Amino acid sequence: MKKSSLYNPKLTIKDFAELVSSQSISCEELTEITLDRIRKLNPKLNGFITILEDSAKHDAKDADASIRRGKYKGPLHGVPISLKDLIYVKGVKSTSGSKILADFVPDYDSTVVRKLKEAGAIIVGMNNTHEFACGITNINPHYGPSRNPWDDSRMSGGSSGGSAVAVSAGMSLASIGTDTSGSIRVPSSLCGVFGLKPTYGRVSKYGVMPLAPSIDHIGPICRSPWDIAAVMQHIAGYDSHDPNSANAPVPNYIDEVEKTQGKFRLGIPKQFFFDIIDPKVKHTFDSFVERAESCQISSTHVDVDQTDKIYETWRAIRLGESATTHNEWLRTRHDDYGKDVAKMLDDGLKITAVHYISAHKWRQEIRGAILRAMKPYDALLVPTTPIAAPLLDQSTVHLDGKDIEVYPVLSRLTTVFDVTGLPALNIPAGLVDNRLPVGVQLVGRPFDEARLIQIAERYEQQYHVSEEMVPALNVTA
């Protein structure tokens, strides 16, 4: 039997972990199957900037040897995982999707990578990203756009677009992305996969190219809630190298995800989240709510205050901090930025100190309002994106009788959970027009990611989302 025929894109980390631990498949076989899929699909989908064939094969061989010695490390042992191309791996080019860092090679591993390696994961490559993670479309002028596996004429979303493409298309079993404005959840929504933005400080940012440090988050993109739990089990936790790392207890996510007994109650905000939304996406959201009821996940509507401050709060912090991060290069290498990123960074230079300081006050007010609304519930539930994936050349979308730019539409419903630092998990909700995925977000209390994963797992057990949300891709043997 050909190795490529062993691969089933519906299989998850949990499925492969059982095969690897029982030695029904070797780490070398699994890695070769994955690399073969990358070779065949990446030329079209452009989910990777760098593919690490030699090191992946070497690490897979070592992983097999460790298993033969009786030293199986857990569910990530031998599992092919990719990384957004701004997460540092020692000796591996890390471009941040930019011209400026096109030849940058870090001399140390990020904390996330160190932990993944300790868990036995195999790093197969670096995923395409919107330049410097400073955008939501993943249309990159230097490395080309990552393309949606469900329709390669459409956007993947970003800025962790290559990561979502890789997982959706089966080019890696998981990817680590970053999220400052929705950059994990937006592409997860548009590509039909699960994506978690953990609580701010839950996962170390040490060794990751910053954008807006007070709202940057690191998190996993996977095919299933169980897989999210398995990755979080290894990457979460306090890190003294990261001054923003939270010294908070880390649960056993794998144990917690399997505790899905009882009922869950969700609150659906009345304000803001449905003001601008494609009717077809709203219909998909409503259908998700109805289906969730059948697996003891009930929902009621709830008032949320302070939503009028969301955009200006995010804008001041995101633009102001990113301009500060890039200030030196803006002066010395301005022409090396793509036009959209240069404009956004230039806009950040115009943020006043009064606006920036006020925004930090507003973010606490918004956070308090969301937590008050959440008090009677296990989590809040909102759409992830107001639209399905736009065409690659589409700059505006027609909603509510007017044309609106794609960027503010795609990020409209995600930025608030970056500025508040609350955990948010994208769940694939269904297909618009039976062909384009969109997702819903579960939003939780600080450091309560396990509860979100439990709720998602309950839904997964009933509806087998990881098996159903698989794009039809022509992969020849």
**Catalytic residue flag (residue 40):** no
Rounded Cα gap, residues 427 and 190, in angstroms: 11
Q: How many CB atoms lie within 10 A of CB 283?
A: 13
This prediction's pTM = 0.97
Q: What is the mean pLDDT of the chain?
A: 96
Rounded Cα gap, residues 89 and 277, in angstroms: 39
Contact by Cβ (8 Å): 352, 409: no
Q: How confident is the model at residue 262 (pLDDT cuts 50, 70, 90)?
A: confident
Rounded Cα gap, residues 161 and 167, in angstroms: 10
**Catalytic residue flag (residue 159):** yes
Q: Is the pLDDT of residue 4 over 70?
A: no
Per annotation, catalytic residue among 159, 163, 188, 299: 159
Q: What pLDDT is attached to residue 260?
A: 72
Q: How confident is the model at residue 259 (pLDDT cuts 50, 70, 90)?
A: confident
Q: How confident is the model at residue 3 (pLDDT cuts 50, 70, 90)?
A: very low
Question: pLDDT of 155-210, one tens digit each?
Answer: 999 999 999 999 999 999 999 999 999 999 999 999 999 999 999 999 999 999 99
CA distances from 397 to 407, 435, 440 (A): 10, 18, 20
Per annotation, catalytic residue among 110, 183, 188, 245: 183
* Pairing, β 122-127 against β 48-51: antiparallel
Q: Is the pLDDT of residue 388 over 70?
A: yes
CA distances from 445 to 43, 252, 370 (A): 41, 17, 9
Contact by Cβ (8 Å): 202, 445: no
Q: Is the pLDDT of residue 286 over 90?
A: yes
Which two tokens mark 14? Answer: 């949990």
Topology of the domain comprising 12-468: Amidase signature (AS) enzymes (3.90.1300)
**Catalytic residue flag (residue 84):** yes
Per annotation, catalytic residue among 14, 26, 82, 84: 84
CA distances from 305 to 71, 302, 365 (A): 52, 10, 9
Rounded Cα gap, residues 191 and 169, in angstroms: 9
Q: How confident is the model at residue 1 (pLDDT cuts 50, 70, 90)?
A: very low
Residues ≥6 apart with Cβ < 8 Å to 310: 272, 366, 415, 416, 419
Q: What pLDDT is attached to residue 9?
A: 82
Q: Is the pLDDT of residue 2 over 70?
A: no
Q: What are phi and psi of 396, to 5 degrees?
A: -135, 160
Question: pLDDT of 305-345, one tens digit each?
Answer: 999 999 999 999 999 999 999 999 999 999 999 999 999 99
Handedness of CA 159, 78, 450, 288 (dihedral sign): positive
Q: How confident is the model at residue 8 (pLDDT cuts 50, 70, 90)?
A: confident
Instruction: Look at the block and give the residue holding tokens 């819903």.
Output: 440
